[in-house]
Amino acid sequence: MTARLCVETPHHITAFFRPVPAPDPMQAGSLGAGIVVEPAARLCLGAGPIEGEPPWHEAPPHLKLAASRLGVEIGGRASMPLPPGRGYAVSAAAAILGALAAAALRGLSVSRALREAHRVEVEMKTGLGDVPAISCGVGVAVRLSPGPPGSAVIECMPLPPSLVVVVGEGGSMATGELLSALKSEDWAEASRSLHRLASELSAERFLEEALKYTRARRLDERMLGLKLSEVLPRGGVASYYVKKKLAVVVAERDSVEEIASRLAASGLKVRVLSPSRGPPRVVY
C-alpha cells in the first residue's frame, strides 16, 4: 500500500458509572458519564515517517486485534500520547484506531468499526463503556443504556470553551482492580447520580453530579490519599472528580497554572487536556 491513511480518536475519562455485564459482549456495557478529551491518539499507514510527527510506536494489542477482526493485519505508525492504566481509556482508543483503519481500508462502515472496537474491549476485560462514550466525541458523554455504539443510548453535551481539564496522575490501576475496589454503595450512588443527570441533561448538571459523587464516596481519599478540597484553590475550579488514581479538575483557563502547581506539589504528575472537538475520524 502506497497511499497514506491516518485515523485518530479522542480519549475518555469516566466520572461515575455502573457496569452492566452480560455473557454476550455486544450486550454488555455500562451506564455512566464522563468527559471526552484530547490530545487524540493517531495511527498512520502507508507513507514513511513525516518530519514533525511523533516517533513510531509498536501498535498496541487492542489495535491489532480490532483490525484483524475486520480482516486487516495492522503494523503502522501509532501515536498514543496518554499512558495506559491511568483512566484515560487508552485501550478503547487503541481498539478504535485499529477498527477504524481496517474499516477505511475495506470500505466498511464506521458503525461496524466502533462495534468491533467495543467487542474487543469487553472481551479483553479492559473496559465496558468507553468506546460508545468516545464515539460521542464532544465534551460530556452520558451513557443511558449499555452496549456498543449503535445500540447504546448516548447523550453528548459540549463544555463551555473557557474550560480545560487539568489531571493529576497518582499511579496506575487496571480496570479489574478498579471494579474490585468499588463497592455496592459506590454503584448505588452512581445510579442516583446518573438518574439526576438524566432528568436534567446539561454540562452544568454533569459537573455538579461528578463533584457530588466523588465527595459522597470520598474517592479522592480512597484512591489518592488526598482531600482535593484542601489541595485545590477556591476559585477557578468548575468541578473535580477521581477515576482510578487520576484526579480530574475541570477549570477555567486562567486558573490552570495554580491548579497544576498545587497538584504537582501533592506528588501528582500533571497534564493539561482539552475537551474533545470531534468523534473518531479518518483524516487521510
* The pLDDT of residue 51: 53
pTM here is 0.94
Q: DSSP characters for 118-140? A: HHHHHHTTS-SSHHHHHHH-BBE
Paired with 247 in beta bridges are 168, 242
For residue 8, give the nearest of 35, 32, 36, 44 by alpha carbon.
44
Domain definitions of the chain by residue range: 5-157, 163-275
The domain at 163-275 falls in which architecture?
2-Layer Sandwich (3.30)
**CATH tag for 5-157 (out of 3.10.450.50, 1.10.10.10, 3.40.50.300, 3.30.230.10):** 3.30.230.10
For the chain, list residues with pLDDT below 70: 1-3, 47-58, 76
Cβ-based neighbour number of residue 58 at 10 Å = 11
Q: Which long-range contacts (CB under 8 A, 24 or more apart) does 236-242 make?
A: 238/163, 238/207, 239/207, 239/208, 239/210, 239/211, 240/210, 240/211, 240/214, 241/15, 241/16, 241/210, 241/211, 241/213, 241/214, 242/214
Predicted pLDDT of residue 1 = 45
Kindly report, residue by residue over 201-226, the tens digit of the pLDDT: 999 999 999 999 999 999 999 999 99
DSSP-assigned letter for residue 40: E
Tell me the C-alpha distance between 230 and 208, whole Å. Answer: 18
